[in-house]
A and B are shown apart, each in its own frame.
Chain A
Amino acid sequence: MTATAGTVETAGAQPTEALARWARRNAWSLGLLAFFAALLVFTKFIQPSYGVTGVQGLAISVLPLALAAVAQAIVVISGGIDLSIGSMMALTNVVAASLMLGRSDEFAVVVVVGVLLLGLVLGAVNGALVVLTRVPDIVVTLAMSFVWAGCALLVLKTPGGGSAQWLKDLVLGPLGNEWIPKAAIVLVLIVGLIWWAVRRSRFGLSLYAIGSNQLAAFRSGVSVGRAKVFAYALTGLFAAFAGLSLTASTGIGNPLSGSYTLQSVAAVVLGGVSLAGGRGGAFGPIVAVLILALLRTDMTFLNLNPNLATSAQGIILIGVVMVGTLFQIRRGRP
């Protein structure tokens, strides 16, 4: 009797139920998205001229950090952290720029593929060191960040090099409608395809399982070491995408290209990926990057000291995480 009622109910209410479950699971990301929308309205309010140019500028400026945030999200979900993302971006950025300078478009294709492979290798080295030495992730990747940063300076001492025109055209400007930035499409394509493949794979499941409970995953027969190396390699790949996007958007290579590592950690935390591992996705961190960038723009519009913007970012981060934790505690004790 009860069993029949149960099956009828699930059969009838499946779509709405699934939708509700999806919304519940992605509540944080949806909230961030709503906040971003509100922020856009606010921006238009304080700066009525904010429009096509603003949106295009936002898209191109967030592309490297958005890719870096996805890179960080992958490894954080697996229960680790990668402090060498910024250095890997710098290294891949300068390698691409120095190799492409004055070379043909065809050669640039080879360079792009090679640099992506380089990213995979850099990440795999990080992962292998973490697994083999059993030194905490944070220590290994911090050390490796100096190694990769040093390598970047060996390749290019000062900003220089160049980018193939087609690579620049790939991310600069709109596609079709003037409101649709190419950079956004590139981001959605890269992240969408790879993330979708990861979520549908055995590796994706082990990623979340290891992040949730490494011991349980190991006892269940998951090859924890292999999955970790894989996670770091994938992080390296996304760092290489981020480095290439720097080459494409700036047209040059810069061995000291900014504080992407810690910003990626900030975006991941703000984006609802638990630093304890096992929770979150790629979408939240990307929206978080958009929010952080737009906040910075708004502060310029409001004529606030740009240095204040950095501090404000930190304060917002702490505030958001505190509120998030508070919600979680509330939900834990109904």
Chain B
Amino acid sequence: MSSGEANMTTTELVPLVEMRDIRVAFGGVHAVDGCTVDLYRGEVVGLVGGNGAGKSTLMRALSGAHPPDSGEIRIDGQPVSITNPRDAKTLAIETIYQTLALADNVDAPSNVFLGREVTTRLGSLDDSAMESATRTVMGRLNPNFTAFKTQVKSLSGGQRQAVAIARAVYFNAKILIMDEPTAALGPAETAQVRALIRQLKSEGIGIFLVSHDIHDVFDLADRISVMYHGQIVGTVNKDEVTIDQVLGMIILGKRPEEVTQKELAKLHG
């Protein structure tokens, strides 16, 4: 917890992640148009914006799912090149997607270890090692989880999200990207995931939280970066703004001090 608070004041520290002037274009559409964001250890940075603002595309540049056209990414101050998800994982960057992206027809341990399977000396899959490791990490995340041998397609949304998070936690993620982590979940499961995010944050993990849900973001984030039409409108400390001000940034694409009274009136209809 103390490390999380320390980061709020010691901005002279090297950020865990710096993304500078990132650009991603799809044909002629500039989905991400010169964005700069950063993230410190033990910090949650909320990334908000309307549909198509470029939040997910910006995060895909960091997770390796869609490399940027230009711009620089630094991890712990070192410039890195991330061209595919495996590069990101070697840098301890893990991603949890809104679509609960799991391989439906295989079981939880196989999903946790997918792409990084544990093998025996003969090179065959070590199922029992993977299962016991999954049991250990799941015991920490969600002690009620017992479905280690069933295909994940028959699990509930919360259980599936737990599998996705277990994957990130097991491999000692330093940087976690959560793309709408609660979008597909019910209220109880949402609360569970929120508690989990706080726990991970207190362990010193830096988290980018992409969300539509402004309350989620206000509840969890230390700083909030607002995106509008592929650009960063601004990054604000959560404690210094109101929900309405952030909503104004999302909808109008302007910082609170730039918003005129007329626009404000229109916004409140």
Would you call B101 and A205 a contact (CB within 8 A)?
no
Cα distance, A209 to B110, chains bound together (Å): 9
Beyond A215-B101, A216-B101, A220-B167, 15 additional pairs, beta carbon < 8 A: A21-B149, A200-B125, A201-B123, A210-B103, A213-B103, A213-B104, A216-B103, A217-B103, A217-B115, A218-B65, A219-B97, A220-B85, A221-B115, A222-B114, A278-B106
Would you call A219 and B105 a contact (CB within 8 A)?
no
Chain A residues, CB < 8 A from B117: 202, 205
Chain A residues, CB < 8 A from B143: 3
Chain A residues, CB < 8 A from B86: 221, 223
**Nearest chain-A residue to B87 (Cβ)?**
A221
Chain B residues, CB < 8 A from A218: 65, 85
Chain B residues, CB < 8 A from A217: 103, 114-115
Nearest 3 A/B pairs, CB to CB: A221-B115, A216-B101, A209-B103
**Nearest chain-A residue to B119 (Cβ)?**
A202
Question: Which residues A183-207 have CB closer than 8 A to chain B?
Answer: 197, 200-202, 204-206
Task: Render B85-128 as a binary contact track against A, CB cut-off 8 A, 1 for contact.
Answer: 11001000001010001111110001100111101000111000
Separation in Å of the B237 CB from the closest CB of chain A? 32
Chain A residues, CB < 8 A from B115: 206, 217, 220-222
Cα distance, A222 to B111, chains bound together (Å): 11
Residues of A within 8 A of B (CB-CB), count: 27
- Interface set of B (CB-CB < 8 Å, partner A): 63, 65, 85-86, 89, 95, 97, 101-106, 110-111, 114-117, 119, 123-125, 143, 146, 149, 167
Would you call B85 and A209 a contact (CB within 8 A)?
no
Given A6-B146, A218-B85, A222-B115 in contact, is the A212-B103 Cβ separation under 8 Å? Answer: yes
Cα distance, A278 to B103, chains bound together (Å): 8
Count A/B pairs, Cβ under 8 Å. 73
**Nearest chain-A residue to B118 (Cβ)?**
A202
- Which of these, A6, A200, A219, contacts B85 with CB under 8 Å? A219
Would you call A209 and B114 a contact (CB within 8 A)?
yes
Cα distance, A279 to B86, chains bound together (Å): 26
**Nearest chain-B residue to A280 (Cβ)?**
B105
Question: Which residues A244-300 have CB closer than 8 A to chain B?
Answer: 278-279
Chain B residues, CB < 8 A from A219: 63, 65, 85, 95, 97, 101
Is A161 at the interface (CB under 8 A from chain B)?
A: no
Would you call A202 and B125 a contact (CB within 8 A)?
yes
**Nearest chain-A residue to B113 (Cβ)?**
A205
Provide the main secondary structure of the chain A interface.
helix
Given A200-B125, A201-B123 in contact, is the A221-B114 Cβ separation under 8 Å? Answer: yes
Cα distance, A215 to B116, chains bound together (Å): 16
Would you call B102 and A221 a contact (CB within 8 A)?
no
Cα distance, A311 to B243, chains bound together (Å): 68
Would you call B114 and A278 a contact (CB within 8 A)?
no
Is A211 at the interface (CB under 8 A from chain B)?
A: yes
Chain B residues, CB < 8 A from A238: none
Would you call A212 and B123 a contact (CB within 8 A)?
no
Separation in Å of the A286 CB from the closest CB of chain B? 20
Separation in Å of the B200 CB from the closest CB of chain A? 19
- Which of these, A3, A21, A213, contacts B101 with CB under 8 Å? A213
Separation in Å of the B89 CB from the closest CB of chain A? 5
Would you call B104 and A278 a contact (CB within 8 A)?
yes
Separation in Å of the B173 CB from the closest CB of chain A? 13
**Nearest chain-B residue to A222 (Cβ)?**
B115
Separation in Å of the B112 CB from the closest CB of chain A? 9
Given A6-B146, A217-B115, A219-B63 in contact, is the A278-B85 Cβ separation under 8 Å? Answer: no
Separation in Å of the A170 CB from the closest CB of chain B? 28
**10 A-B residue pairs with CB within 8 Å:** A200-B125, A201-B125, A202-B117, A205-B114, A212-B106, A216-B101, A220-B114, A221-B89, A221-B116, A278-B103
Chain B residues, CB < 8 A from A213: 101-104
Is A241 at the interface (CB under 8 A from chain B)?
A: no
Task: Render A215-234 as a binary contact track against B, CB cut-off 8 A, 1 for contact.
Answer: 11111111100000000000
Chain A residues, CB < 8 A from B105: 208, 211-212, 278-279
Cα distance, A6 to B105, chains bound together (Å): 25
**Residue in A204, A206, A213 with the greatest tally of chain B CB atoms within 10 Å:** A213
Chain B residues, CB < 8 A from A223: 86
Separation in Å of the A156 CB from the closest CB of chain B? 40
Cα distance, A222 to B86, chains bound together (Å): 8
Cα distance, A221 to B104, chains bound together (Å): 16
**Nearest chain-A residue to B101 (Cβ)?**
A216
Cα distance, A11 to B142, chains bound together (Å): 21
Chain A residues, CB < 8 A from B104: 212-213, 278
**Nearest chain-B residue to A24 (Cβ)?**
B150
Cα distance, A21 to B107, chains bound together (Å): 13
**Nearest chain-B residue to A277 (Cβ)?**
B105
**Residue in B105, B106, B123 with the greatest tally of chain A CB atoms within 10 Å:** B105
Given A215-B101, A220-B167, A279-B105 in contact, is the A205-B63 Cβ separation under 8 Å? Answer: no
**Nearest chain-A residue to B100 (Cβ)?**
A216
Task: Render A45-74 as a binary contact track against B, CB cut-off 8 A, 1 for contact.
Answer: 000000000000000000000000000000
**Nearest chain-B residue to A331 (Cβ)?**
B154
Cα distance, A220 to B110, chains bound together (Å): 11
- Which of these, B95, B97, B125, B146, contacts A205 with CB under 8 Å? B125
Separation in Å of the B111 CB from the closest CB of chain A? 8
Chain B residues, CB < 8 A from A6: 146
Cα distance, A219 to B66, chains bound together (Å): 10
- Which of these, A3, A201, A220, A222, contacts B124 with CB under 8 Å? A201
**Nearest chain-A residue to B122 (Cβ)?**
A200
